């Protein structure tokens, strides 16, 4: 399909700071499976509604975009009273793997993609993935260690620029 | 009292995407007592200021609106260094009940309502309560299992629609 | 230097609810070292970009601005699967101090200030620090117990007023 843009056409400026276009910025600061999914699900839903989406990964959230860790995020039930199991039981060897297994099964049964595939989908749909420079420095993570769909490693000041006019969530 | 609306009257549209009316959307993702209250207190304060309020319950936050669990939310001190107690002590049997008891007492002494009553107040004041469809599916929670003041079970795309122009918080 | 303001000058109103001026409100609800820094780093970056910044401390976040505790925030690895260590090991005596020591070292190596000094910098740069009244009442914290750069103890309704038109983050 070809589209002819007349010379006098008004090209919409999607980077317009004051524009009416909706933008959502999600800060991902956790490395557990149960706090990775909310960002992925909301980011994906926002993109499907035509919203500009930026995911900014910081602190433990770096695990979501680090090649070595992103396929092995775990759900830990310790210290989470919502699991309705006593802490003594939750601290036993094997309980984290068990809880992680159960959660992955539920996610799979609902046909929700795994973390890496979900991030691929988000990037394919035009979502942006940003790594936090301070966190990368703290954890000695280099650009080569990151998932290849990450746009760039940026600092907190860059973050302020990209979040102009955005709805913001800290997860 | 009767009000006559002239045929040419401009009816204010409170769903206007660009409207000046303030809206607050709070995503409740935790099932612990200490992370349930911030949403309840902020939601209630926002309503008292005339702000449109939507609480969206997802993941562990489903416990806040599930009939069977909402009256038994616990405060777990494990893994929370702010309690200034060693993890070994915190993991002992009885410590979660003890910490929960102390916190409930403080809340009661300040005449702050319990979770169910607080949600009633919020719904009575016009606040909206929404359950997350994906979470309900994952946890096999049906509409009948939910607190009867919940407006509906909605998906992430519906969430994007209701949060247009809102200030957003992820708790 | 003297500036003469003509009588007819239009004085910009920075409190203008609909104004173009950017504002960021960060709710600090955690008392752990790893969740204290995101608020400090983002608040500081926002100020350096000329953004109006308000930090509102509530629940465990009160530890960040209480004189007795603010210099001793800890990083607890229990229940945080992102640390890649089994919960049994993480619960052992000494592991919290060890993890806290390692994290403080990383922060120091990057020349990032400690919590108290960071809050000083933020206050010096014009950032506002607010304590939550309900939390202060619950924890029996008085104004004298607080870091002296805290602007005031305010309630949730005051919070709604100061957050008009702001981008909001709940950490």
User: Per residue in B89-137, pLDDT tens?
Assistant: 555 556 567 677 778 888 888 888 999 999 999 999 999 999 999 999 9
Higher pLDDT, A82 or A27: A27
For B164, the token pair is 């247009």
The pLDDT tens digits of the residues spanning B18-63 come to 335 899 999 999 999 989 999 999 999 999 999 999 999 999 999 9
Listed residue (C49, C51, C53, C54) closest to C20, CA to CA: C51
Contact with chain A for residue C5, Cβ under 8 A: no
Question: Which chain A residues are closer than 8 Å to B18 by Cβ?
Answer: 20
Contacts of B82 in chain A (CB under 8 A): none
Residues of C in contact with B37 (CB under 8 A): 59
Q: Are B89 and C96 in contact (CB under 8 A)?
A: no
CA distance B96 to chain A (A): 8
Q: Which residues contact C107 (CB under 8 A, 6 or more apart)?
A: A138, C37, C114
Q: Distance between CA atoms of C72 and C52, rounded to whole angstroms? A: 28
Residue recorded with tokens 């230097």: C1
Task: Kindly report the nearest CA distance between residue C136 and chain A, in angstroms.
Answer: 24
Could you tell me if C105 lies within 8 Å of chain A, comparing CB atoms?
Answer: no
**Chain B residues with CB-CB distance to C58 below 8 A:** 38
Contact between B34 and C75 using a beta-carbon 8 Å cutoff: no
Residue whose entry in the numeric block shows the structure tokens 């000094």 = C117
Contacts of C34 in chain A (CB under 8 A): 59-60
Cα separation, C62 vs C27, in Å, equals 11
Q: Is C18 on the interface with A (CB under 8 A)?
A: no
Residue of C nearest to A68 (CA): C84
- Length of chain A (residues): 171
**What is the reported pLDDT for B94?**
60
Tell if the CB–CB gap between C168 and B169 is shorter than 8 Å.
Answer: yes
C117 confidence band (pLDDT: 50, 70, 90): very high
Q: Cα angle at A88 between B62 and A101, to 5 degrees? A: 55
Q: Closest to B168 (Cβ–Cβ): which among A78, A88, A169?
A: A169
Higher per-residue confidence, C91 vs A1? C91
Q: What is the pLDDT of residue B6?
A: 46
- In angstroms, the CA B22 to CA C133 distance is 24
Say yes or no for a CB contact (<8 Å) between B45 and C80: no
Residue B74 touches partner A, C-beta closer than 8 Å: yes
Find out whether A59 and A136 touch, Cβ atoms under 8 Å: no
Contacts of C112 in chain A (CB under 8 A): 134
Q: How confident is the model at residue A106 (pLDDT cuts 50, 70, 90)?
A: confident
The answer to whether the Cα torsion of A60, A28, C110, C168 is positive or negative is: negative
If we measure between CA atoms, which residue out of B118, B98, B112 comes closest to residue B28? B118
Cα–Cα distance between B87 and C128 in angstroms, integer?
Answer: 34
**pLDDT tens digits, A72-95:** 998 765 445 555 554 445 555 565
pTM for this predicted structure = 0.83
pLDDT at A145 over 80: yes
Q: Which of C31, C164, C167 sits opposite B81 (nearest CB)?
A: C31
Out of B59, B92, B160, the one facing A34 most closely (by C-beta) is B59
Residues of A in contact with C87 (CB under 8 A): 76, 78, 90-91, 95-96
Mean pLDDT of all residues in chain C?
A: 83
C78 or C102: whose pLDDT is higher? Answer: C102
Q: Complex ipTM, two decimals?
A: 0.81
Averaged pLDDT for residues A13-26: 66
Q: Check whether A1 has a pLDDT greater than 80.
A: no
Spatial separation of the C-alpha atoms in residues A52 and A1, rounded to whole Å? 25
A79, A86, A110 ranked by CB distance to B93: nearest: A86
Among A20, A91, A112, the residue with its CB nearest the CB of B91 is A91
What torsion, rounded to 10 degrees, do the Cα atoms A113, A114, A117, A118 define? 70
What pLDDT score was predicted for residue A95? 59
- DSSP-derived secondary structure letter, A92: S
Pairs from B5-14 (Cβ < 8 Å, separation ≥ 24): B14/B52
Q: Which chains touch C (3 or more CB pairs under 8 A)?
A: A, B
Separation in Å, CA A78 to CA A75, B12, C92: 9, 50, 14
Q: Check CB contact of B94 with chain A, cutoff 8 Å.
A: no
Phi/psi at B29 (5° precision): -110, 0
- CB–CB contact B93 A88 (8 Å): yes
Identify from C38, C61, C75, C78 which residue to disrupt to test chain B contact, counting B C-beta atoms within 10 A and taking the largest count. C78
């Amino acid at each position: 399909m070809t589209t002819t843009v007349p010379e006098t056409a008004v090209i919409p400026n999607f980077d317009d700071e004051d524009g009416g276009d909706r933008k959502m910025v999600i800060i991902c600061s956790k490395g557990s499976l149960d706090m990775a999914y909310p960002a992925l699900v909301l980011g994906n839903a926002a993109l499907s509604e035509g919203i500009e989406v930026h995911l900014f990964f910081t602190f433990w959230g770096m695990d979501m975009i680090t090649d070595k860790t992103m396929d092995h995020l775990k759900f830990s039930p310790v210290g989470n009273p919502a699991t309705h199991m006593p802490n003594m039981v939750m601290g036993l060897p094997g309980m984290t793997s068990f809880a992680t297994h159960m959660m992955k099964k539920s996610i799979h049964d609902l046909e929700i993609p795994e973390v890496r595939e979900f991030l691929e989908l988000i990037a394919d749909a035009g979502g942006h993935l940003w790594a936090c420079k301070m966190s990368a420095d703290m954890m000695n993570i280099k650009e080569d260690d990151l998932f290849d769909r990450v746009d760039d490693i940026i600092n907190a000041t860059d973050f302020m620029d990209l979040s102009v006019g955005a709805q913001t969530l800290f997860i």
